[in-house]
């Protein structure tokens, strides 16, 4: 049962090559996402899938029964996908800084921090995101006379929110697996800080996108700007009170 694997990098054309090879040979074309879905059916979260698939086990993991079971289940998921052979598999994390930063394209069906409420809530989440984005846009318009740094921070947040919103609205429809408002957000920046596994969840491995960075920077900048403005307002009020007291004393 022939199986062809193609390791591809971001913007390398590997997906198009895989699809062409599969078309010529009459094989199935299987992406990394299909393997992720198969692993999910066995209860392996995507972050754990990435860690187990691409990282060699440490010596202390030999005594951790849960991790050993994860690797066995992952093998079962691979066998499920490869059953019958005649397939072309493509997709792999691209190391930028070894064991620290990778390019790993994944689809996030949930919201922030990987929280997923299930496919039945995807449209609801998209609608709520649209409402929140419109509210943020109205708030931005009302800030025309505010400090530049506050307006810039809100603009950066709005840009990031719009980027993720476009994925939620159109991604599923364009790629033929869903309707309008049922798409997943595409994340690809894979940061691996320490990979700590606890309570059936992996901590320290975060996959996000540029829109997420923009939102984080914008929120941080907005908090700094608001804190600075409140401090200046408080100082101005204190100075005004002191000036009034001085004026009153001068009159007496």
Q: What is the pLDDT of residue 216?
A: 93
Mapping DSSP to helix (H, G, I), strand (E, B) and coil, where does residue 177 land? coil
pLDDT digits (tens, 9 = 90+) for 206-232: 888 999 999 999 999 999 999 998 898
Q: Residue 190 catalytic?
A: no
Torsion of CA 236, 231, 139, 172, to 10 degrees: 170
Residue of higher predicted confidence among 15 and 102: 102
- d(CA 126, CA 227) in angstroms, rounded, equals 31
The partner residues of 201 in beta bridges, in order of sequence, read 198
pTM as predicted = 0.62
The label of the residue with tokens 């804190």 reads 227
Helix (H) or strand (E) run with residue 165 in it: helix 148-166
Active site residue 187: yes
Beta strands across the sheet bearing 28-31? 3-6, 87-90, 28-31
Are 123 and 182 in contact, with CB atoms under 8 Å apart? yes
Residues in the chain: 252
Decide if pLDDT at 162 tops 70: yes
Catalytic annotation, pick one of 147, 187, 190, 248: 187
Upper half-sphere CA count for residue 86 (Cβ side, 13 Å): 7
Mean pLDDT of 165-190: 83
Residue 10's pLDDT is 45
Q: Residue 65 and residue 48: Cα distance in Å, rounded?
A: 15
Catalytic position from the list 167, 190, 212, 248: 212
| Mean pLDDT on 121-141 | 90
From first CA to last CA, the distance across the chain in angstroms is 102
CB count in 10 Å sphere of residue 66: 10
Write out the DSSP string of 176-210: TSS-TT-PPEEEEEEEEEEEEEETTEEEEEEEE-H
């Amino acid at each position: 049962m022939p199986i062809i694997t193609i390791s591809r990098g971001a913007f390398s054309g590997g997906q198009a090559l895989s699809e062409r090879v599969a078309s010529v040979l009459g094989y199935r074309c299987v992406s990394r996402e299909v393997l992720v879905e198969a692993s999910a059916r066995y209860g392996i979260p995507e972050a754990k899938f990435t860690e187990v698939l691409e990282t060699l086990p440490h010596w202390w993991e030999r005594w951790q029964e849960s991790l050993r079971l994860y690797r066995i289940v992952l093998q079962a998921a691979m066998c499920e996908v490869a059953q019958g052979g005649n397939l072309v598999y493509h997709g792999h994390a691209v190391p930028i800084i070894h064991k620290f930063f990778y390019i790993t394209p994944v689809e996030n069906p949930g919201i922030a921090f990987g929280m997923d409420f299930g496919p039945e809530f995807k449209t609801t989440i998209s609608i709520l995101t649209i409402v929140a984005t419109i509210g943020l846009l109205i708030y931005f318009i009302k800030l025309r006379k505010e400090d530049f740094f506050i307006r810039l921070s809100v603009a950066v947040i709005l840009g990031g929110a719009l980027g993720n919103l476009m994925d939620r609205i159109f991604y599923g429809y364009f790629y033929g697996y869903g309707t309008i408002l049922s798409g997943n957000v595409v994340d690809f920046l894979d940061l691996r800080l320490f990979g700590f596994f606890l309570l059936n969840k992996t901590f320290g491995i975060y996959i996000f996108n540029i829109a997420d960075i923009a939102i984080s920077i914008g929120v941080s900048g907005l908090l700094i700007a608001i804190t600075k403005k409140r401090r200046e307002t408080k100082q101005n009020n204190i100075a005004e009170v002191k000036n009034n007291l001085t004026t009153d004393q001068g009159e007496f």
